[in-house]
Structure 1
Amino acid sequence: MSNLFINRLISIEDHSNRWEDFAFQEKNYKEAYQKHNLTGLPIKPNDHFWYLRQLNNKTFLSFGSWGTKQTFADGGLITTAQSERIFTSSFWKSYSTNRCLIPVFAYFEWQMQQTGKKHKFKIEFIDKETYFAGLWGSGPNDSTWVTIITQVANEKTAEIHNYGDNKHRQPVVIRRENQDQWIDSKINEEKKIKSLITQFQPEEITTEDQDSEPTLFS
């Protein structure tokens, strides 16, 4: 996926109704919610955003940065993790119980045209209660970082995400019936975790070419 998504902000009341034993510590969340709840918050790598994780049997609304710097990545920022590597990579396996959910409206992807130009596509979810799957880790001074888990793209998103080292990938969306188990850190059997990962389909999204150029037939 590209380096931009829209973080969906949810009222504390709706969070409390959705999650059992819900808790939050961010004093600025209510202010941010009032400002961004209708449009969402655009997030780029290193930006901070809100996500859900489980701590001490409570579902916490937490504040973390997108991406982590690790020595094996040559100093680059790691913003995604492939679902296929959660248990095959020693690094990601060590975070396999640190699963989280990221509320989103949409994300953006680049498509290479036959002309050699790149067009920016907005991929928006029809279900307005969509959550990306993520993994989180601890940083300095009680901070946290988050990566978004990706998988093989469906035919529609594969057509859009058609170039680059990680082409034909899309974020993992955790369906409502799997969300409580996804953030349950007591669940860590590989087969079970993989069963919670499904692929969102073309009919579940709308796409918009934001660099579409007018033609004689437009």
Structure 2
Amino acid sequence: MCGRFTLRTSLADLRQLFFPQDDPDVFSAAIQSVLNQPRYNIAPTQSVAVIRQLDGDAPEFAAMRWGFIPNWADDVAIGARMINARSETIDEKRSFKNAFQNQRCLIPADGYYEWQKAGSVKQPYFLHQPDDASFAMAGLWELNTKASDDSSPIASFTVITTAANSVTGKIHDRMPVILDNKDFDAWLDPSFHDTSSLKKHLTAAAEDFFEITAVSRRVNHVANDGPECIEPVTPKPEGPKTTQATLFD
């Protein structure tokens, strides 16, 4: 699964990755307020900048709540149980089937966390690219007007997961789907309905995509959202072996 992630990338680098041909002012004031500082501990229910595309429009950044709230739900609490969607069944599940057809999104990130039992405690690990570059997690988004107190639409999203590769699988059996840049256009296009071809891309990243680092348990507390969350540590002896706090060459 993916229950926490980071986004420390500058606006300039995000624009270069996702909108290389567009105007430098692609970021609205509202989105800049979401992206105005590095995020080291993004958690469910928080507002996150995702990339979506509406019918007839160009891709755009939009602020959304992490935790998918189906359009038929009348309580936002359901979103806490839908922070992830399994790639194997998103075209079958009632909650995700329509969104997979029409409302796909990209979630910019530059790392995510997983926890592993180590004796009496759970040791957090930070999974990131060796150069800490940003990447795009595959997601689905939804608008709900039934769950809010004033009937104003709530935009929410979920991160799609798949079976882990041989490296990340030593920490957890699931991992977020990372999309290749060349697949961004088809994934975002709401008029592209060949979901069987899209599902072929919902696979694990290459074994050398992520580096895994044991980090401080400060990340366990949502209120902590600074560089101390990714500070390398040496796990307790009963945890997985590491070399300089970085696992699996």
> Do they superpose with TM above 0.5?
yes
The answer to which of 66-75 and 39-48 deviates more is 66-75
The match for 2:180 is 175
Q: What residue is the counterpart of 2:166 in the other structure?
A: 155
Q: Which residue of 2 aligns with 1:3?
A: 3
Other-structure match for 2:29 = 27
Cα deviation, residue 210, structure 1: 1.4
Amino acid aligned to 2:125:
F
Matched with 2:58 is 58
Structure 1 residue 86, shift from structure 2 partner: 1.3
CA change 1:198–1:19 in 2 (3 A) is farther
C-alpha displacement of 1:118: 1.1
Higher mean alpha-carbon deviation, 122-131 vs 177-186, is at 122-131
Q: Once the 2 structures are TM-superposed, how far is the Cα of residue 179 of structure 1 from its aligned partner? A: 1.0
Q: Equivalent residue for 2:143? A: 138
- Maintained 8 Å contact 1:79/1:146: yes
In structure 2, do the counterparts of structure 1 residues 189 and 109 end up closer, same or farther at CA, with 3 Å as the change threshold?
Answer: same
Distance change in 2, residues 1:149/1:155 (3 Å): same
Identical amino acids, percent of aligned pairs? 22
Q: Is contact 2:2-2:84 (8 Å) kept?
A: no
Q: Is the 8 A contact 1:22 1:58 kept in 2?
A: no
Q: How does 1:182-201 map to 2 (within 5 A)?
A: 182-201=187-206
- Give the TM-score normalised by the residue count of structure 2: 0.72
- Decide whether aligned partners of structure 1 residues 89 and 13 sit closer, same or farther in structure 2, where only a CA change above 3 A counts: closer
Supply the AA of the counterpart residue of 1:44. A
When the two chains are superposed, the root-mean-square deviation of aligned CA atoms in Å is 3.1
1:110–1:160 contact (8 Å) kept in structure 2? yes
Instruction: Provide the C-alpha distance between the structure 2 equivalents of 1:118 and 1:41, rounded to a whole number of angstroms.
Output: 19
SS of 1:28 mapped into structure 2: helix
Structure 2 distance, partners of 1:19, 1:45, is 32
Structure 2 stretches lacking a partner, 5+ long: 146-151, 217-233, 238-242, 245-249
Q: CA deviation at 1:105?
A: 0.6
CA 1:86–1:5: 2 relative to 1, 3 Å:
same
In 2, Cα distance between equivalents of 1:3 and 1:13: 25
- Larger strand proportion of the pair: 1
In the alignment, the residues of structure 2 paired with residue 83 and residue 2 of structure 1 have an alpha-carbon distance, to the nearest angstrom, of 13
Give deviations 1:21-59, integer Å, cap 9, x for gaps: 9985742333554x42xx445310100010100112311
Q: Does 1:101 align with 2:106?
A: yes
Between the two proteins, the alignment pairs up a number of residues equal to 207
Given that 1:4 and 1:107 are in contact with CA atoms closer than 8 Å, whether structure 2 keeps it comes out as yes
Shift of 1:193: 1.2
SS in 1 for 2:59: strand
The alpha carbon displacement at 1:143 in A equals 3.2
